[in-house]
Amino acid sequence: KLMSHNESLWDGVDGKGAFDDDDDDESVFNDDGKNGDCRKSMKRCGLTWWWETQHFFSTMMRYPHILVISLVTFGVLCGVGIAAITAEKENYIAKQKSTAQFVARETANWFSDEFRRAMLPLYSVQQGVLHSGYFDSLPEKIGRFPNLVIPGTEETDFTVRNVTGICDDRDMINKFRSIVRPINQDNDLDGIVVGYRLFPNNVACLTEPHAQESSDGFNADDFPQGEALLSSDNAFGLDTGSSAFPLWKMITTDLFINRQFNIFGPFNMPPMSELICGHLAIWKDVDSTDVVQDTLNVHGTEVAGAWGFIVNFLDWTKMKDKSDIYKRFADCHLEFDLTRVSGSTVGLDSATLAKSENADMLTDENSIVVTTTSLHGEWQNKVGSLNGWEPAWFPGAVAGIVLASFVLAFLTASTLVERQLHRNLLYKVMPRRAIMKLQRGQTVLEKFNLVTIFFSDIVGFTNMAGNMRPIQVMKMLNELYTELDKLVEKHNVYKVETIGDAYMVVGGAPSRVPAPLAAERVALFALEAVNFVRKFRTKDGNQIFIRAGLASGPTVGGVVGCSMPRYCFFGDTVNFASRMESTSKKMKIQVADITYRLLQDAPTASFVMTKRVEGDIVGVQVKGKGHQVTHWIERAGPRAWDSFVNDEEDVKRDVETPTISSKYSKENYGIKQADSAAEERNYTSEEIYDAMTSQDWESLGHASSSLVAATDDGYSLGFRACALLENHLLRVLQERDPSAEMSLSVKIQLNQFVQEVSETYGTAKFHNWSHANHVTTSMNKLLAIIQEGGEEPIPLNSFSLVFAALVHDAGHTGMSNKILKDIDHPLSKKFDDSIPIAEKNSIDIALDILFREIFSSLRNAILPGEMDKIEFARTLFQSILITDIATPDRVKLGIERFKASQDSQDPDVGLCPLASHISDLFDGVGLDESVKDEHPDEFVVTSSGLKRCVRNEHLMLLSDVGHLCQSWENFIKWNFRLFKELMDCHRKKLCDNPRETWVQGQIAFFDKYIIPLAERCHTFFPDEFGDAIITNAMNNLKLWTMFGIQATNIMALGVRNDEREDAVLMELYGLGSDYLARKGGK
């Protein structure tokens, strides 16, 4: 009954609609009745659609795999669909062409058959003339040329003989008719043959029909139009064998010299427009004694046995009508153009035999040519469709396929977006591992030994909520906790839940991390949350305050129940953290004692914490726990490097590491103090950078000060590396903005980045974290020397080189690239044969770490723009790939690049070391191929670009082998470590015993690589330093030549007996120092 009312409970309490928002603009909905409701619904629908569309595309951009899968789906569907309809189109075209070809050939075959039928009577008449005996006297009566020639015609195109009384003899006419008429009737040619003509001695003589003789029983129906055709005969007496007219010369030559059948036409012979005539030679029976054998002159050629020839006339128009040629092609929606391309033609007959009305519109694209042969010669029929062979439905089908593919791809994208949003929501509700267990029907229960839990609530929330409408309270909490949720993601902690105004966060669970790191993350989150709340204001301008508490300890996490499951934490630590919050104070963060101790060991941040003291009472009374000593977290900063080292720690040192005091004042390092009150203050990164940079090149790591002395302590090395990187990065930032300062988050992330890089270095004796730091220190020193020589550095280039030096052996296995290939190591399968395995793997590891989400602030500081990414990646790839000095071709190309850089000519494009790595370079720093179009000048091999490349390569090469160009102590120390690393490989049967070739191998390495490298590097430094590195290398070579055998024996004995490194090194150092001392004494 209550629920059926239009008003809610809140209406009764508050006096008005509880969920009306004062901030909503109702002016657009002020219409009364249905019109206002309609407008309101339309606006809401529009806004909903707009929000959903924005959300859809933003999700796609946030998760590129959705866009990729959708585009692939679209491409595949389009490709398959278009391929299918294209295949169908090709079948259709083939069918259309096949139909056109069939109709053309079938029509041509019909005409061929009809020609044979029409010419068959001609052979019968020929035989009748020969064997009847009626006409045997005609050749003799006419005689040979020039007998009976009419004067004046003998040298013209039409030579005429006077055959009156011979060829117009009634008896001869009737005899010719008696032969022709029955033959023509028997063949039933439907009036296609319209007449015959006899040419004895090649002279036009007898014709049939003969109009003048129609009274003698002539039936004109036998020869339709024949009477009209031949009644005006002007060829009577024409001597075709002597006339110069090309037509008759061609016909008689074909008949008597070439001895072949001749068909001529179509041609115009009024009153008929289209005639075709067939010509058949008549030959005397030369074996007959009754026939006087004689020759016939055919245009100057005497032809034996020639009697003359017979001609018949065909009505081509009637033959076409009979064939239904126009209907045949029209029924198939085809146009055609039938032409004669060979046969009896001298330009007097038409090449076009027949064509459709629109035949002139046929082109090579919309037609085919069908060639056939017949008695009439070779025909070509151009057949096609004015609309082309392509089906009319094809464009529409393509559009349909594209549209359908787009719809399906869009549906795929929508499905993927919904799944991704659903997955995101699930992952926000509970951990991924818990979801997988629930999906498998398993119980979710996990134990965590040491986590840190954060609780907070709003001070005075109850009174505040009482003065606000529920919707306002909800909005305020949403605004506040949405920002806190962002901080949760930033600090990589886990938000458990919000209960009213309470907010709970856990570090170290469900993703397990070391307890100090978990405590650090939660504490940094708590500090930033309090700072945010300090600036937060409600819409009414009111400030809110929170109190927070942290506690650490064991806990259990899991999902309870099946309906609306939630991932919760249980245990005393949860209650303790809640008590830390409830007993805390406004805008303060109270931590339990165990959390305090964990924060003292935090890996990257240093926390300033004070004990809670109220009057004489230290700590606070906690319900269920009694009196507890607690602390307030005041602030945090980057961890000072020396906080990792104290008297109680068992620090691993080599022989050069002096005793490290538990307190580090400036006075301990021999550095003048600016203020005696700061005696106990730790050194800053700037001061450590200055101390490391001021070392002499020859004795890097051998200074008396423990601030810069060589050590194998990972924390000390890590902080030194941080100091170098931080200093160079600050210069990068200040080049962009002179007033820029490095933020706390960037410093913390830089420390954490160096820590994670250090963890990628293994236990190899040479290629390890210590050597990486020695190379980094050497690189920093080289850059400082170049700057002292007057060259103005490019900050990002300098930072990139120091960065590259630090990571250049990350992930090194202690095995050479050759060994990795020989044993078919997984890394060898990861890269092509042309790519240096270890070097490329180091680049991938470094970039993978840098581009993790937790290093976003650091990454944005280094690489804010595309040009920064290009320069950084280019320097990184150039300087690390060149360190593959075991590959002769790579070393040779590096030397060729150096020589080309000293030449003023334009460099060879083939010298670019990154040509085959461009795609990897782009992928590594998050660029796409379009950057080449946006910045084309950056990808062109130029003289200045080659010089920068060569400089980067040689600085890295010199840093990597710098110990060979420094003091004897540095050289022999790292030489011993490399020897031990190779002995480890030998024990695993991965390589030969290095001892056998060690002495001569080092000499050859100095002669063929180190000294030439030092000589090339002289180009980049002031003369004094350039001379020094060459001198140092030659001195080490000299000492090794003298003591190499002895040193190798000492090394081998130390490895075999597993002696302490410091003892072996002391003996090796003595070889050189004793000699130098004796030399100095002399």
**Which of 420, 472, 254, 417 is CA-nearest to residue 344?**
254
Question: d(Cα 279, Cα 297) in Å, to the nearest integer?
Answer: 18
Determine the pLDDT at residue 2: 33
Burial of 933 (0-12, 13-18, 19+ CB in 10 A): exposed
Determine the pLDDT at residue 604: 85
Determine the pLDDT at residue 14: 40
Beta strands 617-618 and 613-614: pairing type? Answer: antiparallel
Q: Give the chain's largest Cα–Cα span.
A: 166
- For the chain, helix, strand, coil in percent to 5 are 55, 15, 30
**Which of 612, 955, 559, 619 is CA-nearest to residue 785?**
955
Question: d(Cα 112, Cα 934) in Å, to the nearest integer?
Answer: 69
**Which of 914, 1057, 1037 is CA-nearest to residue 972?**
1037
Determine the pLDDT at residue 864: 92
Say how far residue 838 (Cα) sits from the centre of its chain. 25
Question: d(Cα 957, Cα 1017) in Å, to the nearest integer?
Answer: 9
Distances in whole angstroms, Cα of residue 245 to Cα of each of 248, 249, 250, 302, 691 = 6, 6, 9, 19, 117
Print the SS3 string covering 445-477. EEEEEEEEEEEEEECCHHHHHHCCCHHHHHHHH
Beta strands 546-559 and 589-591: pairing type? Answer: parallel
User: pLDDT below 70 — which residues of the chain?
Assistant: 1-36, 211-234, 271, 286-293, 343-350, 639-683, 702-707, 904, 909, 1076-1082
Question: d(Cα 560, Cα 567) in Å, to the nearest integer?
Answer: 8
Question: SS3 for 218?
Answer: coil
Helix (H) or strand (E) holding 264, with range, is: strand 262-269
Question: d(Cα 556, Cα 447) in Å, to the nearest integer?
Answer: 5
Question: d(Cα 87, Cα 73) in Å, to the nearest integer?
Answer: 21
Q: Are 579 and 548 in contact (CB under 8 A)?
A: no
Distances in whole angstroms, Cα of residue 496 to Cα of each of 136, 430, 478, 481, 736 = 128, 8, 16, 13, 41
Say how far residue 962 (Cα) sits from the centre of its chain. 40
Is the pTM of the predicted complex or chain greater than 0.85? no
**Cα angle 194-198-201, degrees, rounded to a multiple of 5:** 155
Question: d(Cα 808, Cα 812) in Å, to the nearest integer?
Answer: 9
Crossing angle, helix 795-807 and helix 943-960, to 10 degrees? 40
Question: d(Cα 472, Cα 799) in Å, to the nearest integer?
Answer: 50
Determine the pLDDT at residue 211: 55
